[in-house]
Structure 1
Amino acid sequence: MSAIPSADDVLGPDVEVLPLPDVADRLALPVTKVRQALRDGQLLAVRRNGVLSVPTPFLTADGQIVKGLPGTITVLADAGFTPDDMLRWLFEPDETLPGGTPIAALRATGGREVKRRAQALAF
């Protein structure tokens, strides 16, 4: 079994994170499936205070992974971004996007524009 990829806690203290068991509860999945989603690049995790956690904005209120997030993670990985870089980019302020950050735009619109911008970073 491969290690679960994680980033340093590059997020601001105002970004709420959930430990993996809480993510599993929110998604109505076993923790093993959450770990697999992290390995498969559907989610990103940080280690905050030594605990592997997922940023809450990556999850919807109705228990889903935000639409467009897995595809955006794939595009960023293909562009050579590390997990640290991906998290910084997803939470970086950008007033030209709905909600002011790429993750807020993904939450608001599903992310066609966010993915387009992520693809542009590869060139």
Structure 2
Amino acid sequence: MKIRPFWVFVRRYTVLGMTVFLVVVGLTGSLLAFYKELDGVINPHLYVEAHGRTLLNFDALIKNADDLIAPQASVQSLWASSAAVHFSVSPRQNEQTSQTFELNYDQLILDPYTGGELGRRWGAISEG
């Protein structure tokens, strides 16, 4: 009958280990709810204030993005707010070498009021 204390011991420390893991996952995962606010605090240079200006239309913003990244990349998608417009970009194929261009970024961030570039970066926490 000494097998029961062994399994009680195993269960107790397994559950404690899982609890620590789940607390860490829960706390770090809850930060994703505040992604936009945290990104604004960490990267204030990638966001602008309106100051009474009017937003550019999406056609003008897409043209500016294409002009900035051509011929190495193309715009795949965008998500916009009044503080910044984020473009998801992917590399194009080089016509001379038939190989894909190497990019050190996959996001292009533009000012939604002027269309000027605010920055480029690789990856986003919201994509995992």
TM-score range, shorter chain: under 0.3
Q: Which has the higher strand share?
A: 2
Relative contact order: is structure 1 or structure 2 higher (C-alpha 8 Å, sep ≥ 6)?
1
- Per the normalisation by structure 2, the TM-score is 0.22
The structure with the largest alpha-carbon Rg is 2
